[in-house]
């Protein structure tokens, strides 16, 4: 991490004290939500916070660090948001974690791309361990043997982040069709699928109606349940025994 830049000015020092890192990150998230990654600049950030660049650099060294901090803040909030009813089983807890991340990725269009970049680039930063810890504790609580903890947790994490990101992208694509709501968009796609060549696309034609009628959140959670069912069935006592 680059050292913080301090101008030595008493006024700047007072601004740095008054302007917390948390407030900077909060403003960065707001900018990312409204203007995207390209709209997040230190110039715009200083204008929004009514401060000087030195006060911001006191807390964050560069844009990369700021993006990482914004990502960590949103993920932390998503994972700590209390569900309406406390989960009673590991399966319910995994679903609660999945829904928290699903909602965050849907609400913050920049989050999925940042997770895709940051998790492999710097897996020791808090965002990766935080997500794996939230899911992995529940995989362990399912009674899965330790040798399968990482594989089972990775399967769930990859599905949750990938499916949530794809769903968010689909939602943005639907909204991009001016004057078209989600139902109209799905109906148009479903109609196009039904019109495909039956010899070349028998499966796609068969599921076209399911595409038209599906609920995104229910479909997402069904995928979580499928993976959980596979993990528990694969590692149930006697599952690997020969007949």
pLDDT of residue 192: 95
**Which among 14, 31, 122 has a CA at the least distance from the CA of 74?**
31
Q: What is the pLDDT of residues 212-228, one digit of tens each?
A: 888 999 999 999 999 99
Taking the model in full, what pTM does it have? 0.84
Q: What is the pLDDT of residue 180?
A: 64
- Give pLDDT tens digits for 72-119: 999 999 998 766 677 789 999 999 999 999 999 999 999 999 999 989
Query: In angstroms, what CA-CA distances link 106 with 40, 45, 142, 144?
Result: 19, 24, 28, 31
Low-confidence stretches of the chain (pLDDT < 70) are 1-18, 82-84, 177-180, 236-243
CATH for the 85-234 domain, from 1.10.357.10, 3.40.630.30, 2.60.40.420, 1.20.120.1150: 1.10.357.10
pLDDT of residue 9: 39
CB of 98 within 8 A of CB of 220? yes
The chain-wide mean pLDDT, for the chain, equals: 86
Give pLDDT, residue 181.
Answer: 75
Return the pLDDT at 8: 39
CA distance 61 to 219: 41
H/E element holding 170? helix 149-176
pLDDT at 203: 97
Please state, in angstroms and rounded to a whole number, the distance separating the CA atoms of residues 237 and 187: 45
Q: What are the residue ranges spanned by the domains of the chain?
A: 1-61, 85-234
Q: Would 1-61 and 85-234 be classified into the same CATH topology?
A: no
Fold assignment, 1-61: Arc Repressor Mutant, subunit A (1.10.10)
The pLDDT of residue 238: 57
């Amino acid at each position: 991490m680059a050292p913080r830049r301090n101008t030595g000015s008493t006024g700047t020092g007072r601004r740095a004290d008054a302007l917390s890192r948390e407030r900077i990150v909060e403003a960065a998230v707001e900018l990312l939500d409204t203007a995207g990654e390209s709209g997040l600049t230190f110039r715009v950030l200083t204008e929004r916070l009514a401060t000087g660049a030195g006060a911001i650099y006191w807390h964050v060294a560069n844009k990369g660090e700021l993006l990482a901090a914004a990502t960590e803040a949103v993920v932390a909030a998503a994972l700590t948001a209390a569900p309406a009813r406390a989960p009673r089983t590991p399966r319910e807890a995994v679903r609660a974690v999945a829904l928290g991340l699903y909602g965050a990725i849907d609400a913050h269009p920049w989050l999925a791309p940042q997770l895709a970049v940051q998790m492999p680039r710097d897996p020791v930063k808090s965002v990766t361990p935080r997500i794996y810890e939230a899911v992995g504790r529940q995989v362990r609580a399912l009674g899965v043997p330790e040798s399968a903890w990482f594989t089972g947790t990775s399967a769930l994490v990859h599905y949750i982040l990938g499916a949530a990101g794809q769903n968010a992208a689909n939602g943005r694509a639907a909204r991009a069709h001016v004057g078209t709501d989600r139902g109209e968009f799905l109906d148009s796609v479903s109609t196009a699928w039904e019109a495909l060549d039956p010899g070349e696309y028998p499966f796609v034609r068969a599921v076209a109606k399911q595409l038209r009628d599906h609920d995104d959140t229910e479909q997402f959670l069904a995928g979580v349940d499928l993976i959980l069912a596979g993990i528990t069935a694969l590692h149930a006592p006697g599952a690997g025994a020969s007949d």
